[in-house]
Structure 1
Amino acid sequence: MEEYLNDAIPNLKPFNHTLHYDTLFINKDWVLVNDISKKKSTYTFKDDNILEISRKDHTIKTTWSIDIQNIFSIETEDGMITVKVYFKDDDVLVLNHQNKEKFALFINTTNYTQDLETVEDIKLFLKEKYKQKVTNLIYDHEFYYIEKSKEFGPFTVEELSNKVKKEHISAYCFVRDVNAYDYSNRLRIFDLIKEL
């Protein structure tokens, strides 16, 4: 992957036809984040190699194709472009232009009930999405805590929360992730509980 793209959006997964085509890519409503402040464009890649680009007052039908090396060719208003496709996760798609240091970022709005019309809408969508993701990760993860120079654990956040509620431990005890080696991040039980 080009270094500039990895610097801009780390941890992208390259398009994999078996994993992504049916479940994440085809017939989904992808809102283009680039230039959303000027106009909203929604891209829908159809099975029959039709690409529908919907704007406020009209829809353009054009074409797309994919080759054996997962290089996509897309007919746009500006002509034919070739891109590589990457996923940040189920709802974030990146089309990386093959001839320029330029990429397009899309958000899957198929299962999202609110309209994404502005930059503020995008920020709110991403904030809520990743807040929920962090909450889910924290909820399932385990942590050690330290109290009076002794280490205890590992415990889930729910278990730690119950200990705090029963006043068995302080909410201000330092915690460390099971994969961390020390408490240098200065995270407290209180910080974990407020993320749930």
Structure 2
Amino acid sequence: MSEYLHKTIPNLKPFNFELHHDALFINQQWVLVNGISNKKSIYTFKANNSLEITRQHNVIKTSWSIDPLNMLSIETEDGLIKVSAYFKDDDILVLNNQDNDEFALYINATNYNDELNSIEDIQTFLKEKYLKKVSTMIYDHEFYYIENSKEFGPFKVEELSQKVKNADISAYCFVRDINEHDYSKRLRVLDLIKELDEIKK
């Protein structure tokens, strides 16, 4: 991965054929973010190595291939380009040109109900995605809390919220996720309750 790309978009996962090809990559509607305000393009990579690029009502058919090192070759209007592919997560794909520092960012709009036609639409998509991710984390995770030097738990956030309402514990007790080993993040029950309230709005 180029240093420029790594600094611009951290925590990228390299394309892995077994993990990503069938489940996340093939037959998905990848909306190109670059230049979306001027021209919307949707890329659909097919299993037969064909590539469909849809722009308004015009469909361009070209081809793509992948080598054993997971390097993609794409036939474009400007000729053949080689790119390395990365996933930011299941819905965000990055293709990095091997000849320079340029990269293309794509959003998977296959299961998204609203249109992605502008930067504002992309921002809304990412905001909703973030809130959904936070919601899943808040509802599904369990936390320990510490009070009077003793640790209790684990409990889900709604259980901790109820304990605060019942005055069983203080809202200012420190908590830690079950996957963390200490309380160094200084997260309190109150902080979790605030997040829970924001999600419910």
Given that 2:93 and 2:107 are in contact with CA atoms closer than 8 Å, whether structure 1 keeps it comes out as yes
1:68 equivalent in structure 2 = 68
1:126 equivalent in structure 2 = 126
How many Å separate the matches in 2 of 1:193 and 1:40? 40
Secondary structure in 2 aligned to 1:125? helix
Cα 1:26–1:8 change in 2 (3 A) is same
**TM-score, normalised relative to structure 2:** 0.88
How many Å separate the matches in 1 of 2:188 and 2:183? 13
Report the alpha carbon displacement of residue 161 of structure 1 after superposing the two structures with TM. 1.8
Report the alpha carbon displacement of residue 149 of structure 1 after superposing the two structures with TM. 5.6
- Which runs of 5 or more structure 2 residues have no equivalent in the other structure? 197-201
1:181 equivalent in structure 2 = 182
User: Which AA in structure 2 matches 1:102?
Assistant: E
Report the alpha carbon displacement of residue 150 of structure 1 after superposing the two structures with TM. 4.8
- Map 1:99-178 to 2 at 5 A: 99-147=99-147, 150-178=150-178
Size of the aligned set, in residue pairs, is: 195
How many Å separate the matches in 2 of 1:68 and 1:170? 56
2:14 equivalent in structure 1 = 14
1:25 equivalent in structure 2 = 25
How many Å separate the matches in 1 of 2:70 and 2:84? 7
- Which runs of 5 or more structure 1 residues have no equivalent in the other structure? none
Report the alpha carbon displacement of residue 181 of structure 1 after superposing the two structures with TM. 2.4
Report the alpha carbon displacement of residue 69 of structure 1 after superposing the two structures with TM. 1.3
User: Which AA in structure 1 matches 2:174?
Assistant: F
1:47 aligns with 2:50: no
Deviates more, 1:67-76 or 1:133-142: 133-142
User: Which AA in structure 2 matches 1:144?
Assistant: Y
Report the alpha carbon displacement of residue 41 of structure 1 after superposing the two structures with TM. 0.8
Deviates more, 1:166-175 or 1:155-164: 166-175
Deviates more, 1:6-15 or 1:83-92: 6-15
How many Å separate the matches in 2 of 1:12 and 1:52? 25
Secondary structure in 1 aligned to 2:114? coil
**TM-score, normalised relative to structure 1:** 0.90
Secondary structure in 1 aligned to 2:187? coil
Q: Percent of aligned positions with the same letter in both sequences?
A: 66
How many Å separate the matches in 2 of 1:108 and 1:136? 20
Report the alpha carbon displacement of residue 188 of structure 1 after superposing the two structures with TM. 2.5
Secondary structure in 1 aligned to 2:130? helix
Could you list the per-position Cα deviations for residues 64-120 of structure 1 after superposition, in whole angstroms to 9, with x for gaps in the alignment? 111121111111122211001111111111111111011111110101101011111
